[in-house]
Chain A
């Protein structure tokens, strides 16, 4: 596969790695020879996923919980002996079924922001030392924040999700400005509408055939990530 030499040995952590796009990313990275650690909340699913993909490292934790942040960062570092790429993929939809903003409880809005914005912010801070160390060693250091077209287009009933993803997208842009002098780049990537558990929660009657397969979205994400790593692209 063309990407093997690009991703081979790359140290990548994926949050929300046991379902949907996250699982597809873990599989795709594993298939390309990357060293992968993934994070998810459910211990049994983490164990199952790790067992099905030998060599990957499963970490049980919730990015929305402050107390889990450094525990996750510690285990990511020890699993991969450092870190080159963090993919903040874990996402929360907000209230289900989807609600008009005026009907959304504050707590549901906060929960969406905790998973989609504050969690990625905290975990990124906790691994920034490792990423900048990778950059000083001449390795590509990247943070990928998975965003959505709901961050740009104001879809009715997608308020909690859309607003939190819009904030994540802007956070990514500012952070990219601030971190590039340290060799760390931050990308916000939109995978498109996919046939995932999250989408099924949001739009239960959607026709799966009309939706992108997570494996295809994962491949596109990895292509975009690869395009941002010229030092690796040149080596292939």
Chain B
């Protein structure tokens, strides 16, 4: 059977990028992705992740063995800019991104207390996290010098399928702000200022949240099974207000990418858990998304997702099953294949509308139930 092909050129908005639209009724249409604003409706609210991507790949040495290593920063428990010492990270041995991650050499055995020299940065292994290559590390030095070291020495995480090395400007979306993502929130590559202008002109709202998008793949089956790692996020008060207004108006919330979906659904779930009597309350502020989204997930906030085209079986693809039935998704997958859609970060896109929940007693779709909570 033929396969979907990966986009290999690091162009965020190829002129002829395609968009497959899968409506709630199962209808599939194809259009140019640049026409996204014309596919949406007045009153819709587009929510994007404004995280900038960290240069999370740090080359260096494991000091006691002098072995060359590559450390890929993979997670942090907070978005705070002044809390930058502790990261979880995945460690590779000799070699670089031109070797597929699954064929990369293992690092030397890593133990608590081991020193790592990563360019100007000095770090200590705090502990391994249930896997010999997954560690928690701690940087030495003051906050500004750690950030300067990451900024100047780090490189964006590279992909073997992309034809040339990626620079930061390749992986920052046009709206990139807080540098907290470990890999780019690549669904946001679709956004440029012309599209934002078109949304505004058509009466479509735009809001952002910040979500620390984590690694998508490590090349290690045992590690990949643990992805996505916990991801901190922040939902601003004005974004909650815009979502609440859209729900009141019966308008749709369009999530740009899986990270936005994960953050919003986590924020709604946390709020619902704390306020049982008021299901569907969405809370502004900080959280840590630790849930998996899949076929059994009941979506509370997001009505449609714009996502890259993903291979069946990937965790991104699993998430799409929360939006529509597996059989419908299979039809979309066949259409992607037939029409030559490209996958991965720089590929084509799909817009999938959620099939409305059939169980009204559990539904929070009733717009009036969605209310604002004060920021915690």
Interface residue from B55, B168, B174, B179 paired with A77 (Cβ < 8 Å): B179
A137 CA to B208 CA, complexed, in Å: 10
Majority secondary structure, A binding face: helix
Q: Which residues of B contact A126 (CB under 8 A)?
A: 169, 172, 176
Q: Which residues of A contact B174 (CB under 8 A)?
A: 128-129
Chain A, 179-221, contact with B by CB distance < 8 Å: what is the 0/1 string?
A: 0011000000000000000000000000000000000000000
Q: Nearest-CB distance from A211 to chain B (Å)?
A: 34
A72 CA to B238 CA, complexed, in Å: 28
Chain B, 137-177, contact with A by CB distance < 8 Å: what is the 0/1 string?
A: 00000011001101110000000000000011100111111
A130 CA to B208 CA, complexed, in Å: 11
Interface residue from B52, B147, B152, B207 paired with A136 (Cβ < 8 Å): B207
- Interface check B17, CB cutoff 8 A: no
Q: Which residues of A contact B169 (CB under 8 A)?
A: 69-70, 126
> Which residue of B has the minimal Cβ distance to A134?
B177
CB pair A130 B148 closer than 8 Å: no
Q: Which of A12-20, A78-86, A88-96, A108-116 contacts B (4 or more CB under 8 A)?
A: A78-86
- Interface check B197, CB cutoff 8 A: yes
Q: Which residues of B contact A71 (CB under 8 A)?
A: 151-152, 168
Interface residue from A73, A81, A138 paired with B81 (Cβ < 8 Å): A81
Interface residue from A67, A70, A82 paired with B172 (Cβ < 8 Å): A70
CB pair B179 A74 closer than 8 Å: yes
CB pair B84 A78 closer than 8 Å: yes
CB pair A129 B144 closer than 8 Å: no
User: Which A residues have a C-beta under 8 Å from some C-beta of B?
Assistant: 57-60, 67, 69-75, 77-79, 81-82, 126, 128-130, 132-133, 136-138, 178, 181-182
Question: Which of B151, B196, B236: most chain A Cβ within 10 A?
Answer: B151
Q: Which residues of B contact A60 (CB under 8 A)?
A: 148
Instruction: Tell whether A129 pairs with B52 under 8 Å between CB atoms, given A82-B177, A137-B238, A178-B193.
Output: yes
Instruction: Tell whether A130 pairs with B178 under 8 Å between CB atoms, given A70-B172, A78-B81.
Output: yes
A60 CA to B151 CA, complexed, in Å: 11
- Interface check B50, CB cutoff 8 A: yes
Q: Which residues of A contact B81 (CB under 8 A)?
A: 77-79, 81
Instruction: Tell whether A129 pairs with B173 under 8 Å between CB atoms, given A75-B147, A77-B81.
Output: yes
- Interface check B200, CB cutoff 8 A: yes
> Which residue of A has the minimal Cβ distance to B206?
A136
A77 CA to B168 CA, complexed, in Å: 15
CB pair B238 A78 closer than 8 Å: no
Q: Which residues of B contact A58 (CB under 8 A)?
A: 144
Q: Which residues of B contact A79 (CB under 8 A)?
A: 81, 144, 147
User: Which B residues have a C-beta under 8 Å from some C-beta of A?
Assistant: 50, 52, 54-55, 81-82, 84, 143-144, 147-148, 150-152, 167-169, 172-179, 193, 196-197, 200, 207-208, 236, 238-239
> Which residue of B has the minimal Cβ distance to A182?
B196
Interface residue from A74, A137, A138, A181 paired with B151 (Cβ < 8 Å): A74
> Which residue of B has the minimal Cβ distance to A69?
B169
Q: Nearest-CB distance from A165 to chain B (Å)?
A: 25
Q: Nearest-CB distance from A27 to chain B (Å)?
A: 19
CB pair B50 A70 closer than 8 Å: no
List, sorted by A's number, 8 A–B pairs whose CB atoms are closer than 8 Å: A70-B168, A74-B52, A75-B148, A77-B177, A129-B176, A129-B177, A178-B193, A182-B196
Q: Which residues of A contact B143 (CB under 8 A)?
A: 78
> Which residue of B has the minimal Cβ distance to A57?
B144
A73 CA to B53 CA, complexed, in Å: 12
A209 CA to B207 CA, complexed, in Å: 52
CB pair B200 A78 closer than 8 Å: no
Q: Which residues of B contact A57 (CB under 8 A)?
A: 144
CB pair B151 A75 closer than 8 Å: yes
A71 CA to B82 CA, complexed, in Å: 17
A128 CA to B84 CA, complexed, in Å: 24
Q: Which residues of B contact A75 (CB under 8 A)?
A: 144, 147-148, 151
CB pair B168 A78 closer than 8 Å: no
Beyond A77-B178, A78-B81, A126-B169, 5 additional contacts (C-beta under 8 Å) are A67-B167, A70-B168, A78-B147, A82-B177, A129-B174
A75 CA to B151 CA, complexed, in Å: 7
> Which residue of A has the minimal Cβ distance to B171?
A70
Q: Which residues of B contact A77 (CB under 8 A)?
A: 52, 81, 177-179
Q: Nearest-CB distance from B60 to chain A (Å)?
A: 18
A74 CA to B147 CA, complexed, in Å: 8
CB pair A82 B178 closer than 8 Å: yes
A215 CA to B173 CA, complexed, in Å: 38
CB pair B236 A137 closer than 8 Å: yes
> Which residue of B has the minimal Cβ distance to A72?
B151
Question: Which of B52, B82, B196, B208: most chain A Cβ within 10 A?
Answer: B52
Interface residue from B55, B152, B177, B193 paired with A133 (Cβ < 8 Å): B177
Q: Which residues of A contact B207 (CB under 8 A)?
A: 136
A128 CA to B193 CA, complexed, in Å: 10
A178 CA to B193 CA, complexed, in Å: 9
A-B pairs, top 8 by smallest CB distance, nearest first, are A70-B168, A129-B177, A130-B177, A71-B151, A129-B175, A78-B81, A78-B147, A129-B176
A69 CA to B238 CA, complexed, in Å: 30
Q: Which residues of B contact A130 (CB under 8 A)?
A: 177-178
A132 CA to B175 CA, complexed, in Å: 8
